[in-house]
Amino acid sequence: MAKIKLFSRIYQKIMKVACYFIKWPKPFVIEGTNSSLEIVNVIKENKLQRPLIIVDPFIDQIGLMKHTLDSLDQNNIKYIKNIDVKSEPNVLMIEDIVSIYKESNCDSIIAVGGGSIIDTAKLVGARVTNPNKSISKMKGVLKVRKQIPFTITIPTTSGSGSECTVAAVVKDGHSKYAVNSPKLVPNVAVLDPMFTISLPVSLTLTTGMDALTHAIECYIGNSNTKTTYQDSIEAISLILNSLESLLANTQDVEKRLQMQKASYLAGAAFTRGYVGYVHSIAHALGAYYNIPHGEANAVLLPLVLEKYKEKIKNKMLKLVDKLDESNLPNEEKLSLFYSKIKSLSLKVKKSIGFTKIDSKDYQELIKHIQKETWPLYPVPRYLEDSELIDIFEKVKENA
């Protein structure tokens, strides 16, 4: 165990240095309402002829795509629309969509939906431009050699940050894993609050907590740069100043845009600074019990922070000092911060999946969690297996 931890820390230091020599692409950002015309302009400027639109079926059903599709039609842009997309990417579904892309002679991708839809689009793109490499062979870091096709992302949730990250998560049997490469970063990110305006309270909350988890796990990790610190702090501030009021008024366009910015910033931060145990545990529970990712993150975040509490205290005191300009002592500010995280977590209505967590699965869950965490995630400290079991038990108690 000690050797594995030592290797992990050495690996992380090497990766942190190596990252300074990697070109980190950023998408062109279209921000604000009425984005349809700008999307058309981007398509024309890049001489794209036949985009494949991968869209969440619900988004298509309620008509959120209408203005964009009308603009494409009016400008004689021939597109192929695929709405047969399940809630999260899996290997077989990706291969089916790759076949549609090739058979339809598409030259680009437009992804409209939450993080799962955008991850699906990125993985489809990776298979299109890297046809001799299966998804499983791309697992891990820097294994996608060729840039994905020109990709426009239109997030309809404010949580994953996938519109700007190097990562895409895929389900493969009882396993969930990430493909990480700068070649996956989309070309365009559309932050249009009108695409999130129909998001119900429950998803507004869980996706918002997903973004908050990205920002906090990045901030407390050991692989930050000056930029990732700034992005994560700004994201945390935007979320804590927007999310609760947005839950009371889901039609607040300005708060919707603030949450989209926060999700984007959190994504930009963690794509270089990484995440941690909240995510590795959430991925394992999602793979085994189909617990939605944002919901799992929301429930797990305060539990994991409690395990880290002493190790991250100094960092957290600096954070709350930046977030809260009042004259309260920083210790009191930190207590209020943790209380707010717990309050938001308790608002999440837990699914039946949490009650299905079975002690007979503990060792397999731990195996998946530690395998994902070591050596990639620069967590404040490594959790012992017994601590992970304690988290499982607490999650079940509160389900």
Contact in structure between 147 and 128 (CB atoms under 8 Å) = no
Contact in structure between 238 and 262 (CB atoms under 8 Å) = yes
Flag whether 10 is in a domain: no
User: How many Cβ atoms sit within 10 Å of the Cβ of residue 384?
Assistant: 13
Q: Which residue has tokens 């980190």?
A: 24
What is the layout of strands, in order, in the sheet containing 140-141? 140-141, 175-180, 167-172
3-state secondary structure of 185: coil
Flag whether 6 is in a domain: no
Let me know whether 180 and 211 are in one domain.
no
Residue of 37, 39, 19, 20 whose CA lies nearest to 29: 39
Report pLDDT for 23: 81
Structure tokens at 263: 């999700």
Q: Which of 195, 221, 239 is the last residue of a domain?
A: 195
Let me know whether 109 and 141 are in one domain.
yes
Report pLDDT for 4: 79
Contact in structure between 177 and 169 (CB atoms under 8 Å) = yes
Q: Which of 195, 230, 263 is the last residue of a domain?
A: 195
Let me know whether 82 and 209 are in one domain.
no
d(CA 206, CA 337): 18
Residue of 21, 263, 223 whose CA lies nearest to 142: 21
- Counting the structural domains of the chain, the total is 2
Let me know whether 189 and 207 are in one domain.
no
In 3-state terms the chain splits into helix, strand, coil percentages (rounded to 5) of 60, 10, 30
Q: Look up residue 48 and give its amino acid.
A: L
Domain extent for 63: 24-195
Contact in structure between 182 and 166 (CB atoms under 8 Å) = yes
Let me know whether 44 and 189 are in one domain.
yes
Flag whether 1 is in a domain: no
**Distances in whole angstroms, Cα of residue 281 to Cα of each of 88, 89, 166, 297:** 17, 18, 20, 8
Report pLDDT for 353: 87
Flag whether 16 is in a domain: no
Let me know whether 155 and 212 are in one domain.
no
Q: Backbone dihedral region of 55: left (phi > 0), alpha (psi from -120 to 50 degrees) or beta?
A: beta
* pLDDT string in tens for the chain (399-residue length): 677 788 888 888 888 888 877 788 999 999 998 899 999 999 999 999 999 999 988 888 899 999 999 999 999 999 999 877 866 899 999 999 999 999 999 999 999 999 999 999 999 999 999 999 999 999 988 899 999 999 999 999 999 999 999 999 998 887 888 899 999 999 999 999 999 999 999 999 999 999 999 999 999 999 999 999 999 999 999 999 999 999 999 999 999 999 999 999 999 999 999 999 999 999 999 989 999 999 999 999 999 999 999 999 999 999 999 999 899 999 999 999 999 999 999 999 888 889 999 999 999 999 999 999 999 899 999 999 999 999 999 999 876
Flag whether 293 is in a domain: yes
Q: Which of 161, 195, 229 is the last residue of a domain?
A: 195
For residue 333, the cross-strand partners are none
DSSP state of 55: E
Residue of 187, 30, 52 whose CA lies nearest to 109: 52
**Distances in whole angstroms, Cα of residue 65 to Cα of each of 85, 178, 195, 304:** 16, 29, 8, 38
Phi, psi angle pair for 177, to nearest 5° = -145, 165
Contact in structure between 343 and 388 (CB atoms under 8 Å) = no
- 230's CB contacts (< 8 A; 6+ apart) are none
Let me know whether 313 and 373 are in one domain.
yes
Structure tokens at 189: 């990110």
Q: Give 194-245 as a DSSP string.
A: GGTTT--HHHHHHHHHHHHHHHHHHHHSS---HHHHHHHHHHHHHHHHHHHH
The domain spanning residue 261 has which CATH number?
Answer: 1.20.1090.10
d(CA 197, CA 123): 27
Let me know whether 342 and 387 are in one domain.
yes
The domain spanning residue 142 has which CATH number?
Answer: 3.40.50.1970
d(CA 90, CA 169): 9
Structure tokens at 179: 């493909």
Let me know whether 324 and 231 are in one domain.
yes
Flag whether 3 is in a domain: no
For residue 81, the cross-strand partners are 53
Let me know whether 190 and 245 are in one domain.
no
Let me know whether 159 and 64 are in one domain.
yes
d(CA 193, CA 70): 19
Let me know whether 136 and 222 are in one domain.
no
